[in-house]
């Protein structure tokens, strides 16, 4: 039975936190990690391009992917013509790499991106949510009482977790993040409420540990 979780395009490691705490071996792949493998307990930070990532052998319990959305999101649509064809092609290539890996690995998976071009070039997402709809999973729900329209493309038995919504007292996350060097990383942080809900749903359904 698998005790391995893979999270692609994951700099913060937030998605794997509950899995790691439960004893799973977790791989977080992101170009912003130090090159090569850095082990932190049972979490392996893989620094490099997802297109060169070789997953560990054996069965996988879950795969998550958070590909860059800058050249796909409707929020940047006014810049599409300025950025040109190659930016779009590169962004689609990364999503395609994630989709191929997810299909090949055979575990429940989701690929996350905002509303944007993927519905035209791939398919409609299977699910949509905002972080505030899962904030009730947190000890401090107000931490994630914000909206950010998020889409999920899913497969291999992924189940959308039960929502525990709170009122979005912080409004839209996209408008709130201050301008800073770290702005893109802050805006794209995986919501911990959603991560907890996905873990509970998929961990309980799998007799792995
Ligand atoms: C939309 S953000 C997702 C962040 C994630 N939700 C988190 O909490 O860290 C996309 C991430 O993809 C990473 N990235 C971009 N191109 C990459 C590539 N070719 N291979 C691996 N990671 C890449 C970026 O460094 C960034 O952290």
128-165 pLDDT, tens digit per residue, is 999 999 999 999 999 999 999 999 999 999 999 999 99
Q: Is 130 in the pocket of ligand 1 (CB under 6 A)?
A: no
Give the domain ranges of the chain: 4-205
Q: What is the pLDDT of residue 1?
A: 66
Residues of the chain with confidence (pLDDT) below 50: 206-209
**DSSP structure string for the chain:** ---EEEEES-SS-TTTHHHHHTT-EEEEEETTSPSEEEEETTEEEEES-GGG--PPSS--SEEEE----TTTBGGGGGGHHHH-HHHHHHHHHHHHHHHHHHHHH-S-EEEEE-SBTHHHHT---SEEE-GGGTGGGSSSGGGG--B--EEEEEETT--PPPP-----TT-BHHHHSPSSTTHHHHHTPPPHHHHHHHHHHHHHH----
Looking at 3.75.10.10, 3.40.50.150, 3.40.50.300, 3.10.129.10, the CATH number of the domain 4-205 comes to 3.40.50.150
Does any ligand 1 atom lie closer than 6 A to the CB of residue 68?
yes
Distance 186 CA to ligand 1 centre (A): 12
pTM of the model: 0.95
Q: Which pLDDT score, from 0 to 100, does residue 178 have?
A: 60
State the closest ligand 1 atom to the C-alpha of 69, by its place in the atom list counted from 1: 1
CA of residue 71 to ligand 1 center, whole Å:
13
Residue 101 Cβ contacting ligand 1 at under 6 Å: no
Decide whether any atom of ligand 1 lies within 6 Å of the 53 Cβ.
no
Q: Give distance in angstroms: CA of 29 to centre of ligand 1.
A: 8
Say what the pLDDT of residue 207 is: 43
How many Å lie between the centroid of ligand 1 and the Cα of residue 184? Answer: 10
| Per-residue pLDDT at 121 | 94
Q: How far is the CA of 74 from the centre of ligand 1 (A)?
A: 18
Ligand 1 pocket test, candidate residues 30, 46, 89, 190, most atoms within 8 A of CB: 30
Residue 184: its pLDDT value, please? 83
Q: What is the pLDDT of residue 192?
A: 98
């Amino acid at each position: 039975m698998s005790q391995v979780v893979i999270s692609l395009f994951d700099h913060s490691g937030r998605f794997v936190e509950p899995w790691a705490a439960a004893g799973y071996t977790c791989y977080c792949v992101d170009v912003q990690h130090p090159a090569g493998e850095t082990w932190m307990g049972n979490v392996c930070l893989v620094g490099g391009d997802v297109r060169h990532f070789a997953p560990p052998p054996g069965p996988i319990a879950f795969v998550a992917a958070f590909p860059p959305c800058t050249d796909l999101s409707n929020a940047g649509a006014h810049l599409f013509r300025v950025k040109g064809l190659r930016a779009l092609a590169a962004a689609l290539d990364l999503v395609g790499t994630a989709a191929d890996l997810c299909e090949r690995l055979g575990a429940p998976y989701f690929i996350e991106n905002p509303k944007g071009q993927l519905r035209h070039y791939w398919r409609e997402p299977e699910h949509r949510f905002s972080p505030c709809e899962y904030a009730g999973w947190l000890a401090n729900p107000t931490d994630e009482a914000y909206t950010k329209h998020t889409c999920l493309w899913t497969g291999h038995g992924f189940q959308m977790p039960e929502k525990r919504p709170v009122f979005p007292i912080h409004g839209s996350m996209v408008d709130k993040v201050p301008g800073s060097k770290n702005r893109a990383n802050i805006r794209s942080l995986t919501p911990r409420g959603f991560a907890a809900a996905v873990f509970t749903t998929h961990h309980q359904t799998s007799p792995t540990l």
